[in-house]
Amino acid sequence: MIKLLMVQPENREIKRFRRFQFNNFSQLTIPYLAAFVDEQHYHITLVDEYCHRVPYKKHFDLVCITVNTPNAPHCYDMSAKFRQAGAKVVMGGPHATLLPNEVQKHCDHLLVGEGEIIWPQFLADFQNSTAQTRYHSQTPPSLKNLPLPRWDLLKRRPMMKGAVIATRGCPYHCRYCNLKQIYHPSYRMRPISDVVGEIQAMPSKFFVFWDDNLFANAAYAKSLLRALAPLKRRWAAQATLSDCADEELLSLARAAGCLYLFIGLESFSEQSLNDAGKDMNRIADYQAIISSIHRHGIMVQAGIVFGFDSDTADVFDATLAACEKLGIDGATVSLLTPFPKTPIYEQLKTEERLLADDWSRYNSKTAVAFVPKNMSAEELWGGYNRFRKRFYTLGSFVRRIRVSRTNVATNFIINLGYRLGI
């Protein structure tokens, strides 16, 4: 029996950043990949480092680590420890797909791209002692008949195990986003019956869609929402603002149990949206669409990014005022981060504005990774932190809820969760 350890890593800075938040759902990657493992030949141990310690003192034959960019240095250290103890290490994930030659130096086997085909192939080869050094996803995997994630193997996350995908990819081309470099280019959808069956199998009444853009195909989304309604579940998802202009879609979403939508507003500046390549967002439409979402009883969790080239030192106060005027229920606030292979990364690298090669600084939350154009890095960092603290004060919540008037008790709990995180 091959002893397999599968790790969802979390570096210290982000773990510290999130440690008091109680509204964090588990990542889907490792429980999902565990579902492909043949337990007749492998004994699986799952670790979510957000709430588990990595068992360095135990013996494993194979260690699987999914690597995203800010966790890369931490993952390399983890790999070195296990390899020194005699284990083989296989790495995959976003960073491995973006910079495979770098990641290859820190593992025995590398999976590049989407894993549905190459992960089972690697497991079979490893079992037969014929595993290759590198596997590359050549064609877009089908999303039909996907196995159910092994949430049963993930301990100590009883309240936050509900995560599912219905689609993969995004039709848009934002300049700071690396989805186009990570996934095959096609936008794909799972059979609705498969999605509904997986949600029915979840023990929790609450879940989250981890899709990057659930409403990108309106016809599919409406059919899915009609199928979800009888389940009487409560959920959240990510969507693009322009797709939420569809009143029928919002009505179906609410009837299907949607509590809130994460919407990447990013900025209240037209020039900043141009910098972001976010031409589907129109500031003139913000109020009407957000008001419509609220009328349907759905909260808006806005994605906001600071640091675009047209941002000046007054952007933080202006953004807070705009959020309060629109009744934005919650905000996921980030520092602009030039992830490798994205257009913004290439621009800043050409302009010699990258501050460090330390990928741990590229986490969007705890460090500025580049030289801003119209303010100093210190001003960007200070303004970002000041905005977060002010947005999640009781006074700001009262001003916003007077406009939103949506799910007041749940809204308060979510805001409190973020406040505790700050």
Q: What is the DSSP string of 339-381?
A: -TTSHHHHHHHHTT-B--S-GGG-SSSS---B--SSS-HHHHH
Q: Which residues contact 368 (CB under 8 A, 6 or more apart)?
A: 307, 335, 355, 361, 377, 380, 381
Q: Is the Cα dihedral 396, 402, 405, 410 positive or negative?
A: positive
Give the position of tokens 């976010």. 278
> What pLDDT score does 262 carry?
97
Contact 208, 237 (CB under 8 A): yes
pLDDT of residue 254: 98
Count of residues making up the chain: 422
At 23 the pLDDT is: 54
Identify the segments of the chain with pLDDT beneath 70. 14-25, 156-161
Give the phi and the psi of residue 307 in degrees, each rounded to 5: 125, 5
Neighbours of 117 (CB within 10 A): 16
User: Measured between alpha carbons, how far apart are the two ends of the chain, in Å?
Assistant: 45
According to the model, what pLDDT value does residue 418 have?
83
Is residue 25 a contact partner of residue 163, using CB atoms and an 8 Å limit? yes
> Tokens representing 158?
């009883």
pLDDT of residue 160: 54
State the pairing for strand pair 188-189/167-168: antiparallel
The pair of three-digit structure tokens given for residue 39, joined into one six-digit string: 């337990």
Helix count (H) and strand count (E) of the chain? 17, 14
Nearest to 243 by CA among 207, 199, 209, 212: 212
pLDDT of residue 318: 97
Query: How far apart are alpha carbons 117 and 38 in whole angstroms?
Result: 14
Q: What is the pLDDT at residue 25?
A: 64
**Single-letter amino acid, residue 163:** A
395 Cβ contact partners less than 8 Å away, ≥ 6 residues apart: none
pLDDT digits (tens, 9 = 90+) for 337-378: 999 999 999 999 999 999 978 999 999 999 999 999 999 999
- Which amino acid is it at 194? D
Q: What is the pLDDT of residue 417?
A: 79
CB neighbourhood size of 145 (10 A): 8
